[in-house]
Amino acid sequence: MEIYRSIGLAEAITAAGKPFEGEAGVARCVSLADEWEWLYSDAAPRGMPEVTAGEACMTDQNAVEPILLAAGRDHGARYLPNTELVSVESTADGVLAQVADRATGARTEIGADYLIAADGHRSPIRERLGIGRPGAHTFMHTMNIVFTAELADLLPKRALFWLINDPATGFGAGFVSTAQADRWQLSVRYDPEIETERDFDEARCRKLVGTALGRADIAVEIEGVAAWEQGVGVAETYRRERVFLAGDSAHVWPPAQGMGANTGVQDAHNLAWKLAAVVNGWAGPALLDTYQDERLPIAKALAPLIVRNQQARLSGGAEPTDGPDSEALIFGQHYWSSAVIEPAGRQVFATNRETVATPGARAPHLWLRRNDRRLGLHDLISDAFVLLTGAGGAAESAGTAWCAAATEPRTELAMPLHAYRIVEKAGDGRPEDLLDLDGQWPARYGLGADGAVLIRPDGYVAARFEPGTGNPADALRAALRRILRADGASSGGPGRCP
């Protein structure tokens, strides 16, 4: 939601989540008619004002995708519905794709500089390019039964989903709410060696739903069944020439902890500014190597953690508590690449809340006021680098010098870069001043009054400039050239402070 907020979509997505407003968390039970044990309850706060201005929002993919599509169109994207990509050729110079209109069969060729394969976990593009997923496997086959039933009398509260486990009979299932009040989904395990969707006829589905409800007398209308697999797999590479894998095509794992689409959005957020920088000429092509350098280690570390949590959930046991918590998984990801100057190390997730701005980590949140508007720091970061500095203290000129230093890369590299001073008190209304509402700049950034920090368009810290750094313009120029590979240098290790 922090990312959606920064591009102005949070409000629409929150509105799309309205049907889930009364939803009360995740519960475990023997059947819905029995006692429930809450794994997560509605008492859990939706906001984390110490960490982000974004607020968690429960909504479904069907409601979010039209919002994203409309936003893409507003920014000039062309959408071709009912169109299948049937071939793709990637060379050192470009990508040539052939697409087919599914209604007419008509084929069209599309040439492009780059291609993002966001074509799901079976990813025909990944397969065509021969990109493997070592160790990928399916560990559970699941049948989804979608049905309608009036359950208000049975359910004192509506969970997002219930995990059903009856040790006496061995019955296990997931029971999921949908955006429609009387529509539900039951997920049960099946064995594809001996049965298919056809074996789940209406009578069998009704019986399974009755068992999950713990009541056989409730009227149920079966709408349909669909098989899906729970598996895990991470692509061996995220890039082949000019094609990048993102989302499920790059990594897939079970739905525990809701890290599927969320991680895909983070992939896109990491890749989009790099592509924009290269295509618009303010970065060298080597910057694109850092997409894989940064995102692949995250997926490799996430996969076993999520599988372990899902297996604990399905077996009815307690979820492991010895790994990073969900805050660390989402907000504590660390990058180690040449797009970061002096990254903190090769630790993938911060186990504790990130308090001091660290190169390679997400920039710590600040509540700020600008022109009478209260906003979160990440609201200011979406399509440009951001340089933050203190007000300069006794030598007020120091803060001003950092802001002035930002004008040179704007013209020399023709890159988007905003510079702001973080001030303790509302001052003389300079446009570059941001009022630090909670006084957290000193503790979370540790830069004194005249250091500075450079934040990338995806909200990650690119470089720190400690107090006493020499000429701000020289330091900033050198850092940006190193990060953006504007010198045409080949891919290498992490950057070094200029």
Q: Which of 54, 233, 247, 359 is in the footprint of ligand FAD by CB under 6 A?
A: 247
Q: Which of 12, 96, 261, 497 is in the footprint of ligand FAD by CB under 6 A?
A: 261
Q: Which residues contact 32 (CB under 8 A, 6 or more apart)?
A: 151, 154, 155, 162, 164, 175, 212, 213, 214, 215
Is there binding between residue 150 and ligand FAD (CB under 6 A)? Answer: no
Is there binding between residue 124 and ligand FAD (CB under 6 A)? Answer: yes
CB nearer ligand FAD, residue 34 or residue 228: 228
In the 8-state DSSP scheme, what is residue 467? T
Q: Which of 84, 221, 223, 438 is in the footprint of ligand FAD by CB under 6 A?
A: 84
Is there binding between residue 85 and ligand FAD (CB under 6 A)? Answer: yes
3-state class (DSSP) for residue 414: coil
DSSP string, 220-256: -EEEEEEEEEEEEEE-S-SEETTEEE-GGGTEE--SG
Q: Which two tokens stand for residue 381?
A: 């970061």
**Element (DSSP H or E) covering residue 188:** strand 183-189
Is there binding between residue 231 and ligand FAD (CB under 6 A)? Answer: no
* Integer Cα distance of 94 and 84 in angstroms: 20
* Integer Cα distance of 362 and 459 in angstroms: 6
Question: For ligand FAD, which stretch binds (CB under 6 A), given 113-121, 132-140, 294-302, 345-353?
Answer: 113-121
Is there binding between residue 228 and ligand FAD (CB under 6 A)? Answer: yes
DSSP string, 42-108: TTS-SB-TTT-S-B-----HHHHHHHHHHHHHHTT----TTEEEEEEEE-SS-EEEEEEETTT--EE
Classify 39 in phi/psi space as left (phi over 0), alpha (psi -120 to 50) or beta. alpha
Minimum CB separation from ligand FAD for residue 410, in Å? 34
Is there binding between residue 119 and ligand FAD (CB under 6 A)? Answer: yes
Minimum CB separation from ligand FAD for residue 319, in Å? 16
CB nearer ligand FAD, residue 226 or residue 489: 226
**For 455, how many CA atoms within 13 A lie in the half-sphere containing its CB?**
26
Q: How many residues belong to the site for ligand FAD (CB under 6 A)?
A: 17
Helices assigned H by DSSP within 280-396: 289-314, 326-331
Is there binding between residue 96 and ligand FAD (CB under 6 A)? Answer: no
Tokens 């998984």: give the residue: 329
Question: For ligand FAD, which stretch binds (CB under 6 A), given 192-200, 254-262, 438-446, 449-457?
Answer: 254-262
Is there binding between residue 56 and ligand FAD (CB under 6 A)? Answer: no
Question: For ligand FAD, which stretch binds (CB under 6 A), given 255-263, 292-300, 337-345, 471-479?
Answer: 255-263
Is there binding between residue 392 and ligand FAD (CB under 6 A)? Answer: no
Is there binding between residue 258 and ligand FAD (CB under 6 A)? Answer: yes
Is there binding between residue 2 and ligand FAD (CB under 6 A)? Answer: no
Please give the distance of CA 83 from its chain centroid, rounded to a whole number. Answer: 26
Question: For ligand FAD, which stretch binds (CB under 6 A), given 6-14, 31-39, 43-51, 253-261?
Answer: 253-261
In the 8-state DSSP scheme, what is residue 403? H
Minimum CB separation from ligand FAD for residue 362, in Å? 18
Minimum CB separation from ligand FAD for residue 301, in Å? 17
Is there binding between residue 332 and ligand FAD (CB under 6 A)? Answer: no
Binding residues for ligand FAD, rule: CB under 6 A, are: 61, 84-85, 118-120, 124, 228, 247-249, 255, 258, 260-262, 264
